[in-house]
Amino acid sequence: MTEAYVALEGGHVIEGRGRAPGTARGELVFTTAYTGYEESLTDPSYEEQVLTFSYPLIGNYGVREERFEDDRVHPRAVLAKELTADVAEWLESEGVPAVDHLDTREVVTDIRDEGAMKCGIAVGEDVTEEDALEQLEQCKAMSEHTDIGAQVSVDEVEVYGEDNNGETVALVDCGAKDSIVDSLLARDAEVHVLPYDASVADVEAVDPDVLFISNGPGDPANYEQAISLVEEFVEDTPVAGICLGQQIVAEALGGTTEKMTFGHRGVNQPVLDLESGQVVMTTQNHGYTVADPGEHLEVTQINVNDDTPEGIDGIEYDVITRQYHPEANPGPEDTLDFFDSVLEMADERATTQAVPADD
């Protein structure tokens, strides 16, 4: 059996079965999703993290590229109770270490009790506990990855849907899932995907109907350029955001964010709409949240489990954001109408501006 060691913050080392060789380090987190492992593994929001699957069997329906959310696997390493050969071979081809035959119930309990933590991984024929501990020693806290956006963003502007007749969207790519672009294209939008550090001039060149801040990994406070874009355009251009995007918008408009103990990662997070009283099930993947929206924003939806903000709207600005992933993939698809709301907001602003005011 190939040796595999997982060194946890504090020095405890767990031994498992190696399924894909290599060494790695990152923030140890878990997801409760029992389907959608392909989508999770290709989600850029897992950059610089080690992903633990709480569901015991991962890979029971194979690996299909059409389900990918990006062109590569993003977690630094993967832990599971059992990985099928298909998933193990895929991870090995991606150079991502993988370990199974672990008591993932214990790992998840540790994370819930102690919070997301640093860890080191070593997998191979001749690795030792010391190799995993060495990786742990080199592991940085998530907030210390000050330019993590550069690892997940496009390098230059990419345009999709040029023949579409709907609204023009400037999507600031802080680690956007492909399904966000697909959801906008399905609604006839023209989507300009901009780098995470796009300038004011880059956005002005698009002349968008809506400025959209994507999901992504890391501490929202480190996305200084995206924050400045929201500050610059919010008075004249509708603004939308998903996940990290909600946090960035809050930071830009006087709110504050904070790191959660272990975050929300899974496909069964219940969200309550405060106006309608309706509860929807959502897909989520985040370790930070809005602590205080500030005076320019109001919380419109909350997480049923812990009351953290899940939806935020502007008070005097055209702003709509969601902490969860309304594009789903993996599902549920309860909240796909978010994209309709975003584009309707943009259309209403454009229509209002086109009609001259009465003298």
pLDDT by residue for the chain (359 residues), tens digit each? 799 999 999 889 999 999 999 999 999 999 999 899 999 999 999 999 999 999 999 999 999 999 999 999 999 999 999 999 999 999 999 999 999 999 999 999 999 999 999 999 999 999 999 999 999 999 999 999 999 999 999 999 999 999 999 999 999 999 999 999 999 999 999 999 999 999 999 999 999 999 999 999 999 999 999 999 999 999 999 999 999 999 999 999 999 999 999 999 999 999 999 999 999 999 999 999 999 999 999 999 999 999 999 999 999 999 999 999 999 888 788 888 999 999 999 988 777 765 555 54
279 within a domain of the structure (yes/no): yes
152 and 96 inside one domain: no
pLDDT score for 354: 59
179 and 325 inside one domain: yes
296 and 176 inside one domain: yes
Tokens of 65: 């590229």
227 within a domain of the structure (yes/no): yes
100 and 174 inside one domain: no
Active-site annotation, residues = 243, 325, 327
Tokens of 132: 């995993």
Report whether 245 belongs to an annotated binding site.
no
Strand partners, 303: 271
What's the CATH code of the domain at 179? 3.40.50.880
Amino acid letter, 302: I
271 within a domain of the structure (yes/no): yes
198 within a domain of the structure (yes/no): yes
117 and 185 inside one domain: no
Structural domain of 319? 148-354
272 and 337 inside one domain: yes
pLDDT score for 357: 52
303 within a domain of the structure (yes/no): yes
Report whether 91 belongs to an annotated binding site.
no
Report whether 287 belongs to an annotated binding site.
yes
Calculate ∠ Cα 260-175-297, nearest 5°. Answer: 55
Report whether 61 belongs to an annotated binding site.
no
Tokens of 118: 């640093």
Per-residue CA distances from 271 to 176, 210, 305 (Å): 22, 25, 8
27 within a domain of the structure (yes/no): yes
Strand partners, 297: 314
CA-CA distance, 199 to 28, in Å (whole number)? 33
Domain limit, last residue, from 83, 105, 140: 140
Report whether 288 belongs to an annotated binding site.
yes
Number of domains in the chain: 2
Report whether 36 belongs to an annotated binding site.
no
207 within a domain of the structure (yes/no): yes
Residue appearing with tokens 């103990």: 261
359 within a domain of the structure (yes/no): no
pTM, 2 dp = 0.96
Domain limit, last residue, from 113, 140, 167: 140
CA-CA distance, 118 to 309, in Å (whole number)? 26
85 and 135 inside one domain: yes
165 and 132 inside one domain: no
Domain limit, last residue, from 140, 156, 190: 140
133 and 165 inside one domain: no
DSSP string, 15-43: EEEEEE-EEEEEEEEEE--SS-HHHHHT-
CA-CA distance, 146 to 218, in Å (whole number)? 8
Report whether 247 belongs to an annotated binding site.
yes
71 and 174 inside one domain: no
Tokens of 15: 């031994």
97 and 133 inside one domain: yes
83 and 159 inside one domain: no
What's the CATH code of the domain at 13? 3.50.30.20
